[in-house]
A and B are shown apart, each in its own frame.
Chain A
C-alpha cells in the first residue's frame, strides 16, 4: 500500500510539469498580452496611451522576456510558494484567490451534500421499483434536470426567488455582510443565497448520480447472491442495504476525486451567471484578460487537485471495496 502511494506521487511530478507548461503556453497563445488589453482600454476611452508607462510595466512584469524564460521564472517562484502578481488586481495572486477560497469550499460541499441526499434515496427507489410509475416520473424529472442548461435554470430560479422571496439577484450574501465578521445574521443570509446555486449546480449532478446508482443497483439486484439471500428468508430491506447497495456505492466514492478540482473551477458558468464570489469567475476573467500569473497558478492548482483527488478516491475505493486491488496487474 505504502509503496503504491509513493509510486503514484512520483508519477504526479512529470504530469504536473507537463500540465503547467502546456497551460502556460496556451494562455499566451492569443495575440497580445495583458498590457495590450490595457492599451486597448485606454484607447477605447479616447485617452492616449502613456506608452512610456506601459513600456515600464512590460519590463516590471517581465513580459518583454522570451516565453520560455517567463515560464521558468514563474515556475521557480511557484515552487517557493510565490505565485506572482495579478496584473488586473495589482495584488499577489495568493491574496486575490485566498479571499474567495472559503466561500468556494462552502458552496462545493453544500452542493455535494445536496447531490448525495437527493440522489441516494431516489436512486434506490428507482432501482427497486423499476418500470413503475414512480420510476418513470423520477427518471423524467432526472433527465429534465440533466438536459436543462444550468445557466438558464440559474437565471430563471434567480428571477423567481427574487419575485417570491425578495432575495437579491446574484451574490452569496446580502451586501451589508460583505467583509463583515461571521455572525448569525450573516450565516442565515449565506444560507438563503446558497439555495439557488446549490439547486442549480446540484440538479445536473443529481440526475447523473441517480442514473448511475440505479444502473449499478439493478445489476446487483439480478445477481445470484442477492436472490439466494432473499430465498433464504433475509428481510428484503436488510438484504438490500447490506449487500447490493454497498457494491453500488462506488460512483459516490469515485466522485470524491472530482470534488477537489471543483473547488477551483467548479461550475464556472453558473457562478458567473449568478455572480458568486467564488474562484470560478476569477479564473474565467483571468483567462480572458491574459492575467497570466493568476490564470497560470489557477490551472496549476487545478491540475494538482485533480491528481490528488483521483488518488484519494482510488485509495478510498480500495479500502471500501475489497474486490478492488491496487496495482493488481503488477502483482500477477
Chain B
C-alpha cells in the first residue's frame, strides 16, 4: 500500500535504474572491504583451524554483497521444514535465493551474485562479476561459467536440439555473447529484451552460468569417450546429454556433487525422506558487521505427504512452514502453538483473485459468444455477485472484495481497479440485461435470443471445494437477475481442452497468478497472448502460433491490449511502460474480462519461537518474491 501511494511521483525514479544505484553503493562498500576483517561460523572456523578450509578472507570475494539483517544473529543451529514430495527439495534454491540479480524485500532489483550490471537501451546487458567469488567447491567463479553455459550448453545441438531457452530469444534472435575479461560478460540483442533481468531474478531463474569445471566430465566435447560411456551406463541413462542434464541441474538440488552458489548446499543423494542442506563456506554475502552469511548451519527438508503437513506442523514438526498449510488450518495450528513453541504470522498473498469466473469470449456457440462479448452482460453478472456473503461464509471475512486485478502491495493498485463493477446491485444488473434485450422469461429464467434458457454451465477443474461453495452462493444471487447457474465438475486436462476448443462458455479458476505486478513484470498475463488465459483462449492461440491457428482479437479493447503489450516489449522508456501497464489494468477492470471475487486471503506462516528475523508483515509470493527468498533466509537465525 505504501508503494501504491508513491505510484504517481516516485515510481519511475525508484525503479528505473537499479544498476546505477547498486554500482554507486558498491563503490562505498568497495573502500571498506579491503580494510575489513570478516567473521565466520564456528563450524567453519574449526575446519580452518584444522587446515581443511582456507580462511574466510580467501573464501569471500574481494567485495562481498552486504545485507542488513533485521537483527544481528548468532551463528549455528539447524531448522527443519516439510515438503510435500521429494522433488520439492528444489524449493531450497528458492528460499536461498542467491541470484545474479534479485529482488530485495521492497522489490527493487539489485545485483547479488553480480557486483553490478549495466543495461544500455534495454538491449545491451553488461555483467560485472565479483572478483574472488568461488563456487561451493572452492573453484573460482569467473566468466568461464557463462562461456560454458552459452557456448557448450545452450548452443549445443545435442543438449538443446530445440535451441536456447526462450527467454534468451528476442523474436527468434540469439544474443551476441562477449566474454570481455574474467569478470565481465556482455549479452546484446538488436532489440530490447525486457524479459532478461526479471528472468534472472525469478523464483525459478534463468541460469546464465554453469559449473563447467565440474560438468566437463559429462560433456562429449571435453570428456574421454570411454569414461563418459561408463558413467552413462552406471547411471542407467540413455546417453550423455541426459546425464549432463541431470548432473548439471542447478535448480533441482538433486546432485550433492554439483558446485553451487546458494547459501546452503544439499548433501543427501536422492532417494531419501530427509535431505540435509549444509552452509556453503564460499557464500558471497556478509551482514553489515562483515560476518559471512548464512547464520544457520543446517537446514533439513523432510519429505512428507502434502495432506499431512498441516497436522505435522501443528504438532511441532516444522520450524518454518508455509507450503501446504492454508487459512482453513489456522484454528488447528493456533491450538498447538503454545505446547510446540511456535507462532503464526499471516502474510498477504498475491493472487489477483482467490476465485475468478472466466466468460469464454471465444466460445464456439455463436449465441453464447455474442452474449459473452457484450460488456453489459459481463458487468451485470459481476454486479449480481454478493461478494460480502462469499467472503463471510467461505473465508471467515478475512479476504477483501476485489476484481481480478493487482494486489494493494503492487505500485499499480488503485481503489477503482479493485472495486469497479463489484458493488452488489441487483436492480442495475437487471436493467443492463433488459437493455441487452433479454426480456423474455420462462420459469423465472431469461431466454436467449434463440429461445434457449439463459442457463450458464460453469465448469471447474474439480480440484477445489471452495470453488463449488462459491458457485452455489453465486447461483442464488444470479437467480435474482433471471440467470441460472449450473456447476460441472471436470478434470484438469479435460477442463483446459474444452475451454481451448470453445466448448465451455464459462469456467472458474484462480485469478491472476501474479497480482504483484511491478514495473519490471512482463505483463503477459494482461494481454490475450496465451491460450491458457481462460477468457479468450482462441486469441491467445492466434498470438502464440502466429500462423493461422486460433482467431485474431476482433474487439477494440482486445486489439488495444495486444498493441500495448507489443509496445511494452520493445519500449525502454520506463515511464511509458508504467503507463502501458496501468492502461491494461484499467481495460480489464472496465471490461470485466473476468469476474473476480475476493483477494488477499492470508497465508499462515508457522515460525518456531527460537527462529528470528522472519518478518511479521510480509507478502507471500512466488514470482516476484520467491516466497521467503526476498526476505533473505540467510539472515534468519536460531537460539541455541
Contact = CB atoms under 8 A, between A and B. Distances in A.
Partners in one complex: yes
A65 interface: no
Q: Indicate the member of B163, B242, B491, B497 with the most A CB atoms within 10 Å.
A: B242
Contact of A275 (B86, B304, B623): B304
B161 interface: yes
A53 B160 contact: yes
Interface string A34-61: 0010001001111110111101100010
A119 B129 CA distance: 71
6 tightest Cβ-Cβ pairs between the two chains A and B:
A52-B162, A46-B513, A178-B274, A31-B493, A32-B493, A92-B236
Contacts of B312: 168-170, 275
Interface stretch (A12-20, A82-90, A206-214): A82-90
Contact of B165 (A43, A50, A92): A50
A175 B304 contact: no
Contacts of B230: none
A45 B271 contact: no
B14 interface: no
A64 interface: no
Given A32-B493, A168-B317, A169-B308, A175 B300 contact: yes
Interface in B204-254: 204, 236-238, 242, 246, 252, 254
Contacts of A171: 273, 304
B308 A96 contact: no
A52 B204 contact: no
A83 to B, nearest CB: 10
B206 to A, nearest CB: 10
A240 to B, nearest CB: 46
Contacts of A168: 312, 315, 317
Nearest to A167: B315
B98 to A, nearest CB: 19
DSSP class of B's interface residues: helix, strand, loop or mixed? loop
Contacts of A50: 165-166
B632 to A, nearest CB: 22
Nearest to A45: B622
B80 interface: yes
Contacts, number: 112
A88 B87 contact: yes
Contacts of A47: 202, 204, 623
A56 B161 contact: yes
Contact of A36 (B246, B274, B493): B493
Interface residues of B, number: 50
A220 B274 CA distance: 53
Nearest to B272: A179
A275 B305 contact: yes
Interface string A165-177: 0001111000100
Interface in A150-184: 155, 158-159, 162, 168-171, 175, 178-179
Interface string A92-128: 1001100100000000000000000000000000000
A216 interface: no
Interface in B279-330: 300, 302, 304-305, 307-308, 311-312, 315, 317
Q: Indicate the member of A51, A91, A158, A159 with the most B CB atoms within 10 Å.
A: A91
B277 to A, nearest CB: 14
14 contacts: A45-B204, A46-B525, A47-B202, A53-B160, A88-B85, A90-B246, A92-B236, A162-B315, A170-B311, A171-B304, A178-B273, A179-B272, A273-B307, A275-B304
A279 to B, nearest CB: 12
Contacts of B254: 90
Interface in B397-432: none
A30 B493 CA distance: 9
A227 to B, nearest CB: 55
A96 B271 contact: yes
A272 interface: yes
A104 to B, nearest CB: 14
Contacts of B166: 48, 50-52
B532 interface: yes
B514 interface: yes
B85 A169 contact: no
B571 interface: no
Interface residues on A, range: 35 or more
A196 interface: no
Contact of A45 (B268, B315, B623): B623
B492 interface: yes
B270 interface: yes
A265 interface: no
B49 interface: no
A44 to B, nearest CB: 7
Contacts of A53: 160, 162, 165
A313 interface: no
A130 interface: no
A277 interface: yes
A178 B275 CA distance: 9
B507 to A, nearest CB: 15
Interface in B137-163: 160-163
B162 A45 contact: no
A281 interface: yes
Interface in B312-363: 312, 315, 317
B162 A178 contact: no
Contacts of A90: 246, 252, 254, 270
Contacts of B160: 52-53, 56
Contacts of A158: 311
Contacts of B513: 44-46
A82 to B, nearest CB: 7
Contacts of A162: 315
Given A36-B493, A45-B203, A46-B622, 11 more contacts: A32-B493, A47-B204, A47-B623, A48-B524, A51-B162, A52-B160, A52-B165, A60-B238, A85-B237, A91-B271, A168-B317
Q: Indicate the member of A46, A91, A272, A285 with the most B CB atoms within 10 Å.
A: A46
Contacts of B525: 46
Interface string B453-482: 000000000000000000000000000000
A179 B268 contact: yes
Nearest to B314: A169
Interface in A232-291: 272-275, 277, 281, 285
Contacts of B272: 99, 178-179
B2 interface: no
A53 B497 CA distance: 22
A208 B105 CA distance: 60
A89 B86 contact: yes
A32 to B, nearest CB: 4
B494 A273 contact: no
Contact of B317 (A48, A88, A89, A169): A169
B308 A175 contact: no
Contact of A89 (B236, B238, B242, B271): B271
Contacts of B494: 31
Given A53-B160, A91-B270, A178-B273, A272 B307 contact: yes
